[in-house]
Amino acid sequence: MSDAITVRRVDADEARERGAALSHALADVLIDCVEGGASVSFMLPLPREKALAFWRGVLAAVTRGERVLLLAETTAGRVAGTVQLITAQPDNQPHRADVAKMLVHRDARRRGVAGLLMKAVDQAARDAGKNVLVLDTVTGGDAERLYQRAGWHSAGTVPKYALMPDGAYCATTFFYKHLA
């Protein structure tokens, strides 16, 4: 991937009308990340149908207004990365959102895609009236350093919280960010 990257939000209409095509493009990114060793809730091997089912669920949540889905795309329209903002929260947490599934295709890494996605997710949170964000990530990984550079604060680490795609345990660090 050598062309420029832009980040955009998938709205409810697009999620309904282009859901099948979006699911396939997003499944490609998810499968690539899992095959590359990312601990993002899925195990190896990740069947394509399971990845597609996941994205169909995400797109349905977008149509219901429960999630914000952001895409990083090349000028040719290829999805290079994605991140979600889960805005549907309990009644006592209307000010909070969860950041989930920050994924960047291995072909697009080291090009600032994740940083662009993190800036866009901050803006999406502000637009949604959210001022406290939380996320979790593998302790010691590249994403942890990305979040720290983006102004996130560690709230602590839980050993053996999750599994890597190959079945090995991994510690998870929880982060939060207060938006101004």
CB neighbourhood size of 5 (10 A): 19
pLDDT attached to residue 180: 83
- Res 164: pLDDT: 98
* CATH for 5-134 (3.40.50.300, 3.40.630.30, 3.40.50.620, 3.40.50.670): 3.40.630.30
How far apart are alpha carbons 98 and 143 in whole angstroms? 16
**Is residue 45 reached through a cis peptide bond, with omega within 30 degrees of 0 on the bond before it?**
yes
- Tens digit of pLDDT for each residue in 145-175? 999 999 999 999 999 999 999 999 999 999 9
Question: Would you state the pLDDT for residue 10?
Answer: 98
Cα-based distances in Å from 100 to 3, 17, 75, 83, 133: 26, 23, 25, 6, 10
The reported pLDDT for the residue numbered 2 is 57
- Positions in the chain short of pLDDT 50: 1
Terminal alpha carbon distance of the chain: 35
**Model confidence, pTM:** 0.96
Q: What is the pLDDT of residue 60?
A: 98
Q: Where are the domains of the chain?
A: 5-134
Instruction: Specify which residues 174 forms β-bridges with.
Output: 136, 156
State the pLDDT at residue 168. 98
In the chain, the largest separation of any two C-alpha atoms, in whole Å, equals 45
